């Protein structure tokens, strides 16, 4: 077995090790052991961080890892929040954040590749995704779940975005001018 394992490349070794760990955790959980407790979400967060770090290392062929990395990391962070608070119903509107994460990935790729259209598309996805997130969050938390305290959190997020609107408009106007277009 040792000879067989040593002939694998590093990615395959990592895959086998993670699969064996996963099976081990599954068996231990089936036996009633609480191995990772509330920190299980870091098993999702860690691969996201790894993918993002790969995209940041400067190799142009690795830039495409940013978007899956952000999506995996975002999933882990959402699940971490829900695990800590027990507010699993928030998934009714949290899924909107995937458009924001996708926008962040597009923006990063556009900046690295020098494609202003990707940067603009990413900015729009981030901005409008956050607006829809605030709207859905307020709708579900206040009208459906009856959580009136949530309005303060979403109002704060909305206020921050309102304050950022002039900056966004100046930046967008600058990059939408004909001399900054990069088709």
pLDDT tens, position by position, for the chain (183 residues)?
A: 455 656 667 777 777 777 887 787 777 777 776 666 667 888 899 999 999 999 988 788 888 999 999 999 999 999 988 888 888 999 999 999 999 999 999 999 999 999 989 998 998 999 889 888 888 888 888 888 887 777 777 777 777 777 777 666 666 666 665 555 544
Does this model's pTM top 0.75? no
List all residues 6 or more positions away from 144 whose beta carbon is below 8 Å from its beta carbon: 92
69 and 15: one domain?
A: no
107 and 159: one domain?
A: yes
31 and 121: one domain?
A: no
80 and 16: one domain?
A: no
pLDDT, position 56: 86
111 and 162: one domain?
A: yes
27 and 99: one domain?
A: no
DSSP letter, residue 126: H
pLDDT, position 20: 83
72 and 158: one domain?
A: yes
28 and 64: one domain?
A: no
CA nearest to 44, candidates 89, 14, 88, 80: 80
Tokens encoding 66: 């940013």
List all residues 6 or more positions away from 114 whose beta carbon is below 8 Å from its beta carbon: 182
In whole angstroms, what is the distance from residue 102 CA to residue 163 CA?
23
pLDDT, position 159: 77
pLDDT, position 94: 93
Phi, psi at residue 96, to the nearest 5°?
A: -60, -25
In whole angstroms, what is the distance from residue 6 CA to residue 71 CA?
32
CA nearest to 38, candidates 89, 82, 90: 82
Q: What is the dihedral of CA 168, 117, 97, 157, to 10 degrees?
A: 0
66 and 149: one domain?
A: yes
pLDDT, position 84: 81
List all residues 6 or more positions away from 121 whose beta carbon is below 8 Å from its beta carbon: 103, 106, 110
111 and 140: one domain?
A: yes
51 and 110: one domain?
A: yes
Domain that includes residue 124, residue range: 40-180
Burial class (CB in 10 A: 0-12, 13-18, 19+), 153: middle
What's the domain count of the chain? 2
55 and 72: one domain?
A: yes
pLDDT, position 4: 61
pLDDT, position 169: 67
pLDDT, position 183: 47
CA nearest to 133, candidates 95, 83, 172, 79: 95
List all residues 6 or more positions away from 24 whose beta carbon is below 8 Å from its beta carbon: none
């Amino acid at each position: 077995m040792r000879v067989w394992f040593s002939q694998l490349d590093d990615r395959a070794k990592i895959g086998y090790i993670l699969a064996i760990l996963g099976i081990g955790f599954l068996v231990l959980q089936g036996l009633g052991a609480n191995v990772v407790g509330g920190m299980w979400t870091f098993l999702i967060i860690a691969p996201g961080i790894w993918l993002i770090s790969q995209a940041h290392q400067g190799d142009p062929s690795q830039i495409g890892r940013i978007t899956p990395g952000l999506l995996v990391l975002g999933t882990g962070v959402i699940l971490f929040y829900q695990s800590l608070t027990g507010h699993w119903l928030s998934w009714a509107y949290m899924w909107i954040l995937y458009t924001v994460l996708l926008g962040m990935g597009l923006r990063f790729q556009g900046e690295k590749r020098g494609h202003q259209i990707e940067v603009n598309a990413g900015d729009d996805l981030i901005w409008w995704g956050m607006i829809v997130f605030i709207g859905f969050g307020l709708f579900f938390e206040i009208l459906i779940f009856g959580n009136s305290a949530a309005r303060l959190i979403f109002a704060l997020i909305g206020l921050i975005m309102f304050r950022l609107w002039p900056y966004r408009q100046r930046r967008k106007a600058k990059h939408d001018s004909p001399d900054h277009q990069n088709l």
